[in-house]
Amino acid sequence: MKYATVIGLEVHSELKTKSKAFCSCSTEFGGEPNTHVCPVCLGMPGALPVLNKQVVEFAIRAGLALDCEIKKFNKFDRKNYFYPDLSKNYQISQFDKPICEHGHIDIEVDGQTKRVGITRIHMEEDAGKLVHSGATIKTSESSAVDYNRAGVPLIEIVSEPDMRSAAEARAYMEKLKAILEYTDVSDCKMQEGSLRCDANISVMPEGATEFGTRAEIKNLNSFRALERAIEYEIQRQIQLVEDGGTVVQETRTWDDGKGMTLSMRSKEEAHDYRYFPEPDLVPVVIDDAWIARVKSELPELPAARKARLMQEKGLVDYDAENIVSTKAMAEYFDEAAKHTEDSKGIANWLLGDVSAYLNSENITIEKFPITPANLGEMVNLINKGVLSSKLAKKVFAEMLKTGKTPQALVKELGLEQISDEGAIVKIVEETLAENPQSIADYKAGKDRALGFLVGQIMKKSRGKANPEMVNNLLKERMQ
Protein backbone atom coordinates (compact mmCIF):
# COMPACT_ATOMS: atom_id res chain seq x y z
CA MET A 1 0.00 0.00 0.00
CA LYS A 2 1.07 3.58 -0.57
CA TYR A 3 1.17 5.94 2.36
CA ALA A 4 0.92 9.66 2.84
CA THR A 5 2.77 11.42 5.65
CA VAL A 6 1.47 14.28 7.75
CA ILE A 7 3.93 16.51 9.58
CA GLY A 8 3.46 19.45 11.91
CA LEU A 9 6.29 21.26 13.67
CA GLU A 10 6.47 22.96 17.04
CA VAL A 11 9.42 25.31 17.15
CA HIS A 12 10.75 26.93 20.30
CA SER A 13 12.86 30.01 19.79
CA GLU A 14 14.67 31.80 22.60
CA LEU A 15 14.19 35.53 22.37
CA LYS A 16 17.24 37.77 22.23
CA THR A 17 16.46 39.81 25.33
CA LYS A 18 19.11 40.88 27.84
CA SER A 19 17.08 39.82 30.85
CA LYS A 20 14.70 36.93 31.54
CA ALA A 21 10.96 36.99 30.85
CA PHE A 22 9.72 37.54 34.39
CA CYS A 23 12.78 38.62 36.37
CA SER A 24 15.90 40.69 35.72
CA CYS A 25 18.45 37.86 35.61
CA SER A 26 20.81 37.77 32.65
CA THR A 27 19.93 35.53 29.69
CA GLU A 28 23.57 35.08 28.71
CA PHE A 29 24.39 31.58 27.47
CA GLY A 30 26.96 29.59 29.38
CA GLY A 31 28.17 30.80 32.75
CA GLU A 32 28.74 28.69 35.83
CA PRO A 33 25.62 26.71 36.85
CA ASN A 34 23.07 28.63 38.92
CA THR A 35 24.76 32.02 38.66
CA HIS A 36 22.07 33.77 36.58
CA VAL A 37 19.33 33.13 39.08
CA CYS A 38 17.19 34.95 41.65
CA PRO A 39 14.23 34.14 43.91
CA VAL A 40 11.78 34.53 40.99
CA CYS A 41 13.36 32.05 38.58
CA LEU A 42 14.30 29.71 41.45
CA GLY A 43 10.62 29.55 42.38
CA MET A 44 11.00 30.83 45.94
CA PRO A 45 7.70 31.26 47.78
CA GLY A 46 6.44 34.83 47.63
CA ALA A 47 8.62 35.93 44.74
CA LEU A 48 6.56 37.73 42.09
CA PRO A 49 7.12 37.78 38.33
CA VAL A 50 7.01 41.01 36.30
CA LEU A 51 6.85 40.76 32.52
CA ASN A 52 9.70 42.05 30.36
CA LYS A 53 8.27 44.50 27.79
CA GLN A 54 10.78 43.40 25.15
CA VAL A 55 9.31 39.89 25.18
CA VAL A 56 5.95 41.24 24.00
CA GLU A 57 7.71 43.48 21.49
CA PHE A 58 9.65 40.55 19.98
CA ALA A 59 6.59 38.29 19.90
CA ILE A 60 4.63 40.96 17.99
CA ARG A 61 7.56 41.43 15.61
CA ALA A 62 7.87 37.71 14.89
CA GLY A 63 4.10 37.44 14.48
CA LEU A 64 3.96 40.28 11.96
CA ALA A 65 6.89 38.83 10.01
CA LEU A 66 5.02 35.52 9.82
CA ASP A 67 1.82 37.19 8.62
CA CYS A 68 -0.06 36.48 11.83
CA GLU A 69 -2.95 38.29 13.37
CA ILE A 70 -1.81 39.94 16.63
CA LYS A 71 -4.25 39.43 19.46
CA LYS A 72 -5.05 42.51 21.51
CA PHE A 73 -5.93 40.79 24.76
CA ASN A 74 -3.19 38.65 26.24
CA LYS A 75 -2.95 36.72 29.45
CA PHE A 76 -0.57 34.15 30.84
CA ASP A 77 -1.42 30.73 32.22
CA ARG A 78 0.27 28.17 34.39
CA LYS A 79 1.09 24.82 32.84
CA ASN A 80 1.48 22.42 35.73
CA TYR A 81 3.78 19.44 35.72
CA PHE A 82 6.48 17.93 37.87
CA TYR A 83 9.89 17.74 36.31
CA PRO A 84 13.13 18.88 37.95
CA ASP A 85 13.92 21.41 35.22
CA LEU A 86 10.96 23.48 36.44
CA SER A 87 11.69 25.26 39.69
CA LYS A 88 8.07 26.21 40.38
CA ASN A 89 6.48 22.94 39.16
CA TYR A 90 4.65 25.02 36.60
CA GLN A 91 5.72 26.84 33.51
CA ILE A 92 4.33 30.29 32.77
CA SER A 93 2.91 30.04 29.27
CA GLN A 94 -0.08 31.14 27.23
CA PHE A 95 -2.86 28.59 26.86
CA ASP A 96 -6.08 29.68 25.20
CA LYS A 97 -5.11 33.20 24.22
CA PRO A 98 -1.83 33.10 22.29
CA ILE A 99 -0.44 36.44 21.18
CA CYS A 100 -0.43 35.51 17.47
CA GLU A 101 -2.67 33.35 15.29
CA HIS A 102 -3.33 32.43 11.65
CA GLY A 103 0.04 33.08 10.05
CA HIS A 104 1.87 31.29 7.28
CA ILE A 105 5.19 30.68 5.54
CA ASP A 106 5.59 30.01 1.83
CA ILE A 107 8.15 27.31 1.14
CA GLU A 108 9.63 26.09 -2.11
CA VAL A 109 10.35 22.41 -2.67
CA ASP A 110 11.25 20.98 -6.09
CA GLY A 111 10.32 24.23 -7.74
CA GLN A 112 6.83 24.20 -6.21
CA THR A 113 5.65 26.89 -3.85
CA LYS A 114 3.57 25.70 -0.94
CA ARG A 115 1.95 27.60 1.90
CA VAL A 116 2.36 26.15 5.40
CA GLY A 117 -0.04 27.54 7.96
CA ILE A 118 1.03 28.77 11.38
CA THR A 119 -1.63 27.96 13.92
CA ARG A 120 -0.32 30.09 16.74
CA ILE A 121 2.65 31.72 18.45
CA HIS A 122 2.66 32.06 22.19
CA MET A 123 5.04 33.49 24.78
CA GLU A 124 6.44 31.34 27.55
CA GLU A 125 9.48 30.79 29.72
CA ASP A 126 12.23 28.27 29.15
CA ALA A 127 13.01 25.55 31.69
CA GLY A 128 16.34 24.82 33.37
CA LYS A 129 18.91 22.39 32.10
CA LEU A 130 19.56 18.89 33.38
CA VAL A 131 23.11 17.60 33.28
CA HIS A 132 22.97 13.84 33.55
CA SER A 133 25.57 11.92 35.51
CA GLY A 134 25.72 9.07 33.01
CA ALA A 135 26.20 8.97 29.26
CA THR A 136 22.47 9.24 28.55
CA ILE A 137 19.35 10.20 30.41
CA LYS A 138 18.39 6.52 30.62
CA THR A 139 21.61 5.33 32.17
CA SER A 140 22.02 8.19 34.66
CA GLU A 141 21.58 7.54 38.35
CA SER A 142 21.15 11.25 39.02
CA SER A 143 21.12 14.62 37.32
CA ALA A 144 22.30 18.10 38.27
CA VAL A 145 19.90 20.97 37.57
CA ASP A 146 21.12 24.34 36.37
CA TYR A 147 18.46 27.08 36.44
CA ASN A 148 20.42 29.68 34.45
CA ARG A 149 18.13 29.03 31.50
CA ALA A 150 14.96 28.87 33.60
CA GLY A 151 12.85 31.91 32.79
CA VAL A 152 14.60 32.82 29.53
CA PRO A 153 11.82 34.01 27.21
CA LEU A 154 10.67 31.80 24.36
CA ILE A 155 8.14 31.95 21.62
CA GLU A 156 6.61 28.67 20.57
CA ILE A 157 5.58 28.63 16.92
CA VAL A 158 3.09 25.89 16.09
CA SER A 159 2.53 24.98 12.46
CA GLU A 160 -0.55 23.44 10.90
CA PRO A 161 -0.09 19.77 9.94
CA ASP A 162 0.53 20.94 6.38
CA MET A 163 3.83 19.28 5.52
CA ARG A 164 3.94 16.00 3.63
CA SER A 165 7.66 15.12 3.51
CA ALA A 166 10.92 15.52 5.37
CA ALA A 167 12.10 17.90 2.64
CA GLU A 168 9.08 20.14 3.19
CA ALA A 169 9.65 20.14 6.94
CA ARG A 170 13.26 21.11 6.41
CA ALA A 171 12.32 23.88 3.98
CA TYR A 172 9.79 25.24 6.49
CA MET A 173 12.33 25.17 9.31
CA GLU A 174 14.99 26.89 7.19
CA LYS A 175 12.58 29.60 6.12
CA LEU A 176 11.36 30.10 9.67
CA LYS A 177 14.93 30.38 10.95
CA ALA A 178 15.76 32.95 8.28
CA ILE A 179 12.73 35.06 9.22
CA LEU A 180 13.57 34.92 12.93
CA GLU A 181 17.14 35.95 12.12
CA TYR A 182 16.09 38.79 9.84
CA THR A 183 13.74 40.18 12.45
CA ASP A 184 16.53 39.85 15.00
CA VAL A 185 14.28 38.34 17.65
CA SER A 186 16.47 35.26 18.20
CA ASP A 187 20.05 34.04 17.82
CA CYS A 188 18.68 30.87 16.24
CA LYS A 189 21.68 28.82 17.31
CA MET A 190 20.42 25.27 17.05
CA GLN A 191 23.59 23.89 18.64
CA GLU A 192 23.14 26.06 21.74
CA GLY A 193 19.46 25.24 21.88
CA SER A 194 18.19 28.74 21.16
CA LEU A 195 16.16 27.25 18.30
CA ARG A 196 14.57 23.86 18.97
CA CYS A 197 12.14 21.78 17.05
CA ASP A 198 9.68 18.98 17.84
CA ALA A 199 8.01 17.14 14.98
CA ASN A 200 4.57 15.52 15.04
CA ILE A 201 4.48 12.76 12.47
CA SER A 202 1.78 10.36 11.32
CA VAL A 203 1.13 8.20 8.29
CA MET A 204 -2.14 7.29 6.58
CA PRO A 205 -3.06 5.32 3.46
CA GLU A 206 -2.74 7.55 0.42
CA GLY A 207 -6.03 9.24 -0.35
CA ALA A 208 -7.33 8.88 3.22
CA THR A 209 -8.75 11.98 4.85
CA GLU A 210 -8.35 10.99 8.48
CA PHE A 211 -4.83 11.43 9.87
CA GLY A 212 -3.12 8.46 11.52
CA THR A 213 -2.02 8.41 15.16
CA ARG A 214 0.96 10.68 15.60
CA ALA A 215 4.23 10.37 17.42
CA GLU A 216 6.08 13.43 18.66
CA ILE A 217 9.83 13.46 18.03
CA LYS A 218 12.06 15.53 20.27
CA ASN A 219 15.75 16.40 20.32
CA LEU A 220 16.04 17.59 16.73
CA ASN A 221 18.85 20.09 16.99
CA SER A 222 20.00 20.44 13.41
CA PHE A 223 18.36 20.56 9.98
CA ARG A 224 20.01 17.27 9.18
CA ALA A 225 18.68 15.65 12.36
CA LEU A 226 15.20 16.94 11.54
CA GLU A 227 15.29 15.48 8.06
CA ARG A 228 16.82 12.15 9.07
CA ALA A 229 14.52 11.70 12.07
CA ILE A 230 11.40 12.33 10.01
CA GLU A 231 12.54 9.95 7.29
CA TYR A 232 13.30 7.28 9.87
CA GLU A 233 10.01 7.79 11.69
CA ILE A 234 7.93 7.59 8.49
CA GLN A 235 9.54 4.24 7.63
CA ARG A 236 9.12 2.98 11.19
CA GLN A 237 5.41 3.79 11.24
CA ILE A 238 4.78 2.34 7.77
CA GLN A 239 6.61 -0.85 8.70
CA LEU A 240 4.62 -1.08 11.93
CA VAL A 241 1.30 -0.70 10.11
CA GLU A 242 2.35 -3.13 7.36
CA ASP A 243 3.19 -5.69 10.01
CA GLY A 244 -0.31 -5.39 11.40
CA GLY A 245 0.63 -3.20 14.36
CA THR A 246 -0.70 0.20 15.38
CA VAL A 247 1.15 3.45 16.03
CA VAL A 248 0.96 4.54 19.65
CA GLN A 249 0.63 8.20 20.51
CA GLU A 250 3.86 8.88 22.35
CA THR A 251 6.92 11.05 22.66
CA ARG A 252 10.08 9.74 21.03
CA THR A 253 13.60 11.03 21.08
CA TRP A 254 15.99 11.16 18.13
CA ASP A 255 19.27 9.34 18.72
CA ASP A 256 21.62 10.90 16.20
CA GLY A 257 24.39 8.35 16.75
CA LYS A 258 22.14 5.34 16.25
CA GLY A 259 20.13 7.12 13.55
CA MET A 260 16.79 6.11 15.05
CA THR A 261 13.92 7.41 17.15
CA LEU A 262 13.41 5.80 20.55
CA SER A 263 10.39 5.71 22.81
CA MET A 264 10.71 8.00 25.83
CA ARG A 265 8.78 6.80 28.80
CA SER A 266 9.03 9.37 31.55
CA LYS A 267 7.96 8.65 35.10
CA GLU A 268 5.14 11.09 34.65
CA GLU A 269 1.72 9.64 33.94
CA ALA A 270 -0.68 10.88 31.29
CA HIS A 271 -0.19 14.58 30.62
CA ASP A 272 -2.70 16.64 32.51
CA TYR A 273 -1.35 20.16 32.69
CA ARG A 274 -4.31 21.71 34.51
CA TYR A 275 -3.79 25.10 32.93
CA PHE A 276 -5.26 28.05 34.76
CA PRO A 277 -4.75 31.82 34.51
CA GLU A 278 -1.49 32.98 36.13
CA PRO A 279 -2.73 35.06 39.08
CA ASP A 280 0.63 36.80 39.55
CA LEU A 281 0.59 38.49 36.14
CA VAL A 282 -2.01 40.96 34.93
CA PRO A 283 -3.23 40.90 31.30
CA VAL A 284 -1.30 42.61 28.52
CA VAL A 285 -3.39 44.70 26.16
CA ILE A 286 -1.78 45.53 22.83
CA ASP A 287 -3.32 48.52 21.08
CA ASP A 288 -3.27 49.38 17.37
CA ALA A 289 -0.62 52.05 17.87
CA TRP A 290 1.77 49.51 19.39
CA ILE A 291 1.24 47.06 16.51
CA ALA A 292 1.59 49.86 13.94
CA ARG A 293 4.85 51.02 15.49
CA VAL A 294 6.38 47.52 15.49
CA LYS A 295 5.19 47.06 11.92
CA SER A 296 6.84 50.30 10.81
CA GLU A 297 10.11 49.14 12.35
CA LEU A 298 10.13 45.70 10.70
CA PRO A 299 13.34 45.13 8.77
CA GLU A 300 13.45 43.85 5.21
CA LEU A 301 12.33 40.20 5.22
CA PRO A 302 13.80 37.38 3.12
CA ALA A 303 11.04 37.47 0.47
CA ALA A 304 11.43 41.24 -0.03
CA ARG A 305 15.19 40.97 -0.03
CA LYS A 306 15.08 38.25 -2.66
CA ALA A 307 12.83 40.40 -4.86
CA ARG A 308 15.24 43.30 -4.45
CA LEU A 309 18.28 41.20 -5.39
CA MET A 310 16.48 40.00 -8.50
CA GLN A 311 15.25 43.42 -9.58
CA GLU A 312 18.11 45.69 -8.60
CA LYS A 313 21.04 43.34 -8.83
CA GLY A 314 19.83 41.18 -11.69
CA LEU A 315 20.23 37.87 -9.85
CA VAL A 316 18.32 34.83 -11.04
CA ASP A 317 15.68 33.27 -8.78
CA TYR A 318 17.82 30.35 -7.61
CA ASP A 319 20.84 32.49 -6.70
CA ALA A 320 18.73 35.12 -4.94
CA GLU A 321 16.87 32.43 -2.97
CA ASN A 322 20.10 30.89 -1.75
CA ILE A 323 21.73 34.17 -0.87
CA VAL A 324 18.83 35.38 1.25
CA SER A 325 18.46 32.03 3.02
CA THR A 326 20.55 33.33 5.89
CA LYS A 327 20.68 36.94 6.97
CA ALA A 328 24.47 36.83 7.35
CA MET A 329 24.96 35.63 3.76
CA ALA A 330 22.59 38.32 2.44
CA GLU A 331 24.50 40.93 4.39
CA TYR A 332 27.82 39.71 3.12
CA PHE A 333 26.46 39.90 -0.41
CA ASP A 334 25.17 43.47 -0.01
CA GLU A 335 28.46 44.57 1.50
CA ALA A 336 30.56 42.94 -1.23
CA ALA A 337 28.27 44.34 -3.94
CA LYS A 338 29.17 47.84 -2.74
CA HIS A 339 32.68 47.24 -4.05
CA THR A 340 31.87 46.02 -7.52
CA GLU A 341 29.32 46.54 -10.27
CA ASP A 342 29.31 42.82 -10.91
CA SER A 343 26.71 41.51 -8.45
CA LYS A 344 26.28 38.34 -10.44
CA GLY A 345 30.02 37.69 -10.06
CA ILE A 346 29.71 38.03 -6.29
CA ALA A 347 26.75 35.65 -6.27
CA ASN A 348 28.69 33.08 -8.27
CA TRP A 349 31.60 33.16 -5.89
CA LEU A 350 29.38 33.06 -2.80
CA LEU A 351 27.36 30.08 -3.98
CA GLY A 352 30.39 28.37 -5.49
CA ASP A 353 33.84 28.50 -3.94
CA VAL A 354 32.80 30.37 -0.79
CA SER A 355 29.98 27.95 0.08
CA ALA A 356 32.23 25.00 -0.69
CA TYR A 357 34.82 26.38 1.71
CA LEU A 358 32.22 27.04 4.43
CA ASN A 359 30.90 23.49 4.09
CA SER A 360 34.30 21.89 4.15
CA GLU A 361 35.30 23.88 7.25
CA ASN A 362 31.84 23.48 8.77
CA ILE A 363 31.59 27.20 9.56
CA THR A 364 29.09 29.93 8.73
CA ILE A 365 29.74 33.06 6.69
CA GLU A 366 30.26 35.11 9.86
CA LYS A 367 33.56 33.29 10.35
CA PHE A 368 34.62 33.50 6.70
CA PRO A 369 38.19 34.91 6.56
CA ILE A 370 37.82 37.01 3.38
CA THR A 371 36.17 40.40 3.89
CA PRO A 372 33.28 41.37 1.59
CA ALA A 373 35.39 44.28 0.29
CA ASN A 374 38.25 41.94 -0.70
CA LEU A 375 35.91 39.54 -2.46
CA GLY A 376 34.37 42.48 -4.34
CA GLU A 377 37.82 43.71 -5.36
CA MET A 378 38.80 40.27 -6.52
CA VAL A 379 35.75 40.14 -8.79
CA ASN A 380 36.80 43.52 -10.17
CA LEU A 381 40.30 42.23 -10.89
CA ILE A 382 38.79 39.32 -12.80
CA ASN A 383 36.55 41.60 -14.81
CA LYS A 384 39.42 43.95 -15.61
CA GLY A 385 41.33 41.03 -16.98
CA VAL A 386 44.03 41.26 -14.33
CA LEU A 387 43.14 37.82 -13.08
CA SER A 388 42.18 34.91 -15.23
CA SER A 389 39.77 32.48 -13.57
CA LYS A 390 42.72 30.20 -12.89
CA LEU A 391 44.75 32.95 -11.24
CA ALA A 392 41.67 34.08 -9.34
CA LYS A 393 41.44 30.67 -7.66
CA LYS A 394 45.06 31.01 -6.64
CA VAL A 395 44.47 34.49 -5.20
CA PHE A 396 41.28 33.27 -3.49
CA ALA A 397 43.20 30.45 -1.79
CA GLU A 398 45.86 32.92 -0.63
CA MET A 399 43.24 35.34 0.64
CA LEU A 400 41.74 32.52 2.73
CA LYS A 401 45.12 31.82 4.28
CA THR A 402 46.44 35.34 4.74
CA GLY A 403 43.44 37.67 4.70
CA LYS A 404 45.46 40.01 2.49
CA THR A 405 43.83 42.21 -0.16
CA PRO A 406 43.69 40.78 -3.66
CA GLN A 407 45.70 43.74 -4.94
CA ALA A 408 48.52 43.00 -2.51
CA LEU A 409 48.48 39.33 -3.46
CA VAL A 410 48.59 40.12 -7.16
CA LYS A 411 51.82 42.00 -6.49
CA GLU A 412 53.25 39.42 -4.15
CA LEU A 413 52.58 36.54 -6.49
CA GLY A 414 54.01 38.42 -9.44
CA LEU A 415 50.67 38.67 -11.11
CA GLU A 416 50.73 42.44 -11.41
CA GLN A 417 49.67 44.08 -14.59
CA ILE A 418 52.00 45.22 -17.28
CA SER A 419 51.38 48.93 -17.58
CA ASP A 420 54.63 49.75 -19.33
CA GLU A 421 53.52 51.24 -22.64
CA GLY A 422 56.54 49.96 -24.56
CA ALA A 423 55.94 46.38 -23.49
CA ILE A 424 52.25 46.55 -24.31
CA VAL A 425 52.84 48.15 -27.69
CA LYS A 426 55.10 45.26 -28.56
CA ILE A 427 52.44 42.66 -27.77
CA VAL A 428 49.74 44.69 -29.51
CA GLU A 429 51.75 44.98 -32.68
CA GLU A 430 52.64 41.33 -32.62
CA THR A 431 49.02 40.35 -32.23
CA LEU A 432 47.84 42.68 -34.99
CA ALA A 433 50.41 41.25 -37.34
CA GLU A 434 49.12 37.76 -36.64
CA ASN A 435 45.45 38.63 -37.12
CA PRO A 436 44.90 40.71 -40.26
CA GLN A 437 41.38 39.30 -40.65
CA SER A 438 40.35 40.72 -37.30
CA ILE A 439 41.57 44.17 -38.31
CA ALA A 440 39.47 43.96 -41.43
CA ASP A 441 36.46 42.79 -39.44
CA TYR A 442 36.87 45.62 -36.97
CA LYS A 443 37.10 48.17 -39.74
CA ALA A 444 33.95 46.66 -41.21
CA GLY A 445 32.19 47.51 -37.97
CA LYS A 446 32.31 44.17 -36.18
CA ASP A 447 32.95 45.13 -32.57
CA ARG A 448 33.42 41.53 -31.61
CA ALA A 449 36.75 41.55 -33.39
CA LEU A 450 38.05 44.01 -30.81
CA GLY A 451 37.10 41.67 -27.99
CA PHE A 452 38.85 38.82 -29.74
CA LEU A 453 42.05 40.81 -30.13
CA VAL A 454 41.96 41.91 -26.48
CA GLY A 455 41.58 38.27 -25.53
CA GLN A 456 44.59 37.28 -27.62
CA ILE A 457 46.71 39.99 -26.06
CA MET A 458 45.65 39.01 -22.56
CA LYS A 459 46.57 35.44 -23.34
CA LYS A 460 50.00 36.46 -24.62
CA SER A 461 50.63 38.57 -21.53
CA ARG A 462 49.23 35.83 -19.29
CA GLY A 463 46.51 38.14 -18.16
CA LYS A 464 48.94 40.79 -17.02
CA ALA A 465 48.53 43.51 -19.64
CA ASN A 466 46.61 46.54 -18.49
CA PRO A 467 43.28 46.02 -20.29
CA GLU A 468 42.47 49.71 -20.56
CA MET A 469 45.78 50.47 -22.22
CA VAL A 470 45.38 47.48 -24.50
CA ASN A 471 41.97 48.72 -25.56
CA ASN A 472 43.18 52.22 -26.31
CA LEU A 473 46.26 51.07 -28.14
CA LEU A 474 44.30 48.65 -30.30
CA LYS A 475 41.77 51.27 -31.30
CA GLU A 476 44.57 53.70 -32.09
CA ARG A 477 46.42 51.24 -34.30
CA MET A 478 43.40 50.11 -36.20
CA GLN A 479 42.10 53.55 -37.11
Partner 1 sequence: MKVTTKDVEYIAQLSRLTIPESEMEKFTEQFNQILNYADILNELDTKGIEPTAHVLPLSNVLREDVAVEGVSQEVALMNAPAVHDGGFKVPRVIE
Return residues touching partner 1 (CB under 8 A): 17-19, 23-28, 32-39, 41-42, 50-54, 56, 75, 80, 82-84, 97, 130-131, 133, 137-138, 140-147, 264-267, 269, 272, 274, 277, 279, 281-285
Nearer to partner 1, 272 or 447 (CB): 272
Nearest to 191 by CA among 153, 221, 231, 150: 221
Q: What angle do CA 230, 235, 241 make, to 5 degrees?
A: 125
- Beta-strand (E) ranges in 334-455? none
Q: Which residues contact 52 (CB under 8 A, 6 or more apart)?
A: 17, 19, 20, 21, 22, 153
Q: How far is the CB of 52 from partner 1 (least distance, A)?
A: 5
Q: How far is the CB of 53 from partner 1 (least distance, A)?
A: 4
DSSP state of 366: G
Q: How far is the CB of 158 from partner 1 (least distance, A)?
A: 21
Q: Which residues contact 24 (CB under 8 A, 6 or more apart)?
A: 38
Is there a contact between 82 and 89 (Cβ–Cβ < 8 Å)? yes
Q: How far is the CB of 51 from partner 1 (least distance, A)?
A: 5
Nearest to 261 by CA among 193, 194, 201: 201
Q: How far is the CB of 48 from partner 1 (least distance, A)?
A: 10
Q: How far is the CB of 255 from partner 1 (least distance, A)?
A: 14
Nearer to partner 1, 144 or 208 (CB): 144
Nearer to partner 1, 129 or 404 (CB): 129
Nearer to partner 1, 113 or 142 (CB): 142
Nearest to 374 by CA among 400, 348, 412, 411: 400
- DSSP helix/strand/coil, 103: strand
Nearer to partner 1, 133 or 364 (CB): 133
Q: How far is the CB of 106 from partner 1 (least distance, A)?
A: 32
Q: What is the DSSP string of 150-198?
A: TT-EEEEEEE-S-B-SHHHHHHHHHHHHHHHHHTTS----TTTTSEEEE
Helix (H) or strand (E) holding 13: strand 3-14
Q: How far is the CB of 74 from partner 1 (least distance, A)?
A: 9
Strand partners, 296: none
Nearer to partner 1, 111 or 279 (CB): 279
DSSP state of 282: -
| Separation in Å, CA 211 to CA 18, 201, 381 | 42, 10, 58
Q: How far is the CB of 43 from partner 1 (least distance, A)?
A: 11
Nearer to partner 1, 41 or 337 (CB): 41
Nearer to partner 1, 149 or 306 (CB): 149
Residue 177 CB-density burial (10 A; 0-12 exposed, 13-18 middle, 19+ buried): buried
How many C-beta neighbours within 10 Å does residue 263 have?
10
Q: How far is the CB of 10 from partner 1 (least distance, A)?
A: 21
Q: How far is the CB of 348 from partner 1 (least distance, A)?
A: 42
Nearer to partner 1, 42 or 478 (CB): 42
Is there a contact between 105 and 291 (Cβ–Cβ < 8 Å)? no
Nearer to partner 1, 132 or 344 (CB): 132
Q: Which residues contact 12 (CB under 8 A, 6 or more apart)?
A: 126, 154, 155, 156, 157, 195, 196, 197, 198
Q: Which residues contact 379 (CB under 8 A, 6 or more apart)?
A: 336, 340, 342, 345, 346, 349
Nearer to partner 1, 194 or 380 (CB): 194
Nearer to partner 1, 54 or 435 (CB): 54
- In whole angstroms, what is the distance from residue 205 CA to residue 211 CA? 9
Q: How far is the CB of 18 from partner 1 (least distance, A)?
A: 5
